[in-house]
Amino acid sequence: MSEYPTVRLRRLRHNPLVRDMIRETHLRKSDLIYPLFVAPGSGVKNEVRSMPGVFQMSIDVLVEECKEVVALGIPAIILFGIPEHKDEVGSEAYDDEGIIQRAVRAIKKVINNLLVITDVCLCEYTSHGHCGLLRDGEILNDETVELLVKEAISHAKAGADMIAPSDMMDGRVAAIRHGLDENGFSKIPIMSYAVKYSSGYYGPFRDAADSTPAFGDRRSHQMDEANSDEAIREAESDILEGADIIMVKPAGPYMDVIRRIKDEFNIPLAAYQVSGEYSIIKAGGKLDWIDEERVMIESLLGIKRAGADMILTYFAKDVAKLLKE
Ligand code: PBG
Ligand code: ZN
């Protein structure tokens, strides 16, 4: 290797055409998955207080939104439900007439070129806001998994294209895979929230989905933010259980983990730029303290550079509008 002055790294930075040519990472519309919140009623479009530009929408409004999403060239959405009624056991999560099931059917009836992914968990549907069944204040694992399987099957029956379990119970990927296969859905992929940290960045989402736990926290099932070796074990076990896509969540504060998983396993990797990551950038922009558009793109490009193949992001529409292709 020669050195300066023969080597000049700035040489490739003068001409923008050359800069474009040597760009290593690209953000594409086909990388994007747009999260959407479905609520009961009709004509409902409520902006989430802590997430400007994000709305709870009733099914009729959601269907119109999906048409716009398709027109922008975004290939996929992920749906979160806000049920009419919550109860101790999260009944509406696995009810064939539940909010998600009806939403998926309504979308599929009129739109055929949009990938509809459904989030599978109980926390949006339980009166206590926890991700599973409770006994003496503790979340039961195996009993919860049985309900998650019912939820996943019921989403698939409604027409969901992909199932995304976000609950972090042990063994749920294998159980859901088995349940889907037995019910004729062996072609439906599972995108597993395999590496999901117990994060302060979920705050605004809990406003959006109305899923703040009534007491306690999620530390008995979500990961400790200090750990990354454990992320490898989580990813490995979900891959062995049949997960098709592995997710790391949140994305921005865990880019080291994204890179480790990508290097360690030969599997498609999703990263979720969560509500708090979105809200912080939005807030900085609103205050005029940062250039929102620039930081948005930089945050997403960073997540891709770290190793993500696809990104779940509330910025999906904004990005799609910016990207020409
Ligand atoms: C439900 C779920 C959560 C998110 C996605 N699925 C919240 C949580 O675990 O409290 C967070 C998404 C976001 O913050 O954007 N288990
Ligand atoms: Zn949950």
- Quickly list H helices, the chain: 16-21, 59-71, 99-110, 141-158, 172-182, 203-209, 229-240, 255-264, 275-286, 292-306, 316-322
Active site residues: 196, 249
SS3 annotation, 165-186: ECCCCCCHHHHHHHHHHHCCCC
- CA proximity to 318, closest of 53, 42, 119: 53
Choosing from 56, 201, 211 the residue with most ligand 1 atoms within 8 A of its CB, the one to mutate for a pocket test is 211
CA distances for 210 relative to 80, 203, 219, angstroms: 11, 10, 19
| Cβ(300)–Cβ(311) below 8 Å | yes
Q: What is the Rg, in whole angstroms, of the alpha carbon atoms belonging to the chain?
A: 20
- CA proximity to 188, closest of 178, 197, 180: 180
* Strand-strand pairing, 138-139 and 134-135: antiparallel
The CA distance from 191 to 115, in Å, is: 13
Structure tokens at 101: 């099931």
What CATH code is assigned to 25-324?
3.20.20.70
Eight-class DSSP state of 248? E
- Domain boundary assignment for the chain: 25-324
| Cβ(116)–Cβ(161) below 8 Å | yes
**What pLDDT sits at residue 210?**
84
Cα torsion angle, 92, 96, 98, 101, sign: positive
- 131 pocket-lining for ligand 1 (C-beta < 6 Å): yes
Least distant ligand from the CA of 131 = 2
Q: For residue 319, with 0-12 CB atoms within 10 Å meaning exposed, 13-18 middle and 19 or more buried, which class applies?
A: buried
Residue whose CA lies nearest to ligand 1 atom number 12: 274
Residue whose CA lies nearest to ligand 1 atom number 5: 166
Q: Rounded to two decimals, what is the model's pTM?
A: 0.97
| Distance of CA 205 from the midpoint of ligand 1 (Å) | 6
Eight-class DSSP state of 159? T
The CA distance from 301 to 298, in Å, is: 5
Structure tokens at 172: 């749920």
**What pLDDT sits at residue 202?**
96
pLDDT in tens, the chain (325 residues): 789 999 999 999 999 999 999 999 999 999 999 999 999 999 999 999 999 999 999 999 999 999 999 999 999 999 999 999 999 999 999 999 999 999 999 999 999 999 999 999 999 999 999 999 999 999 999 999 999 999 999 999 999 999 999 999 999 999 999 999 999 999 999 999 999 999 999 999 998 988 889 889 999 999 999 999 999 999 999 999 999 999 999 999 999 999 999 999 999 999 999 999 999 999 999 999 999 999 999 999 999 999 999 999 999 999 999 997 5
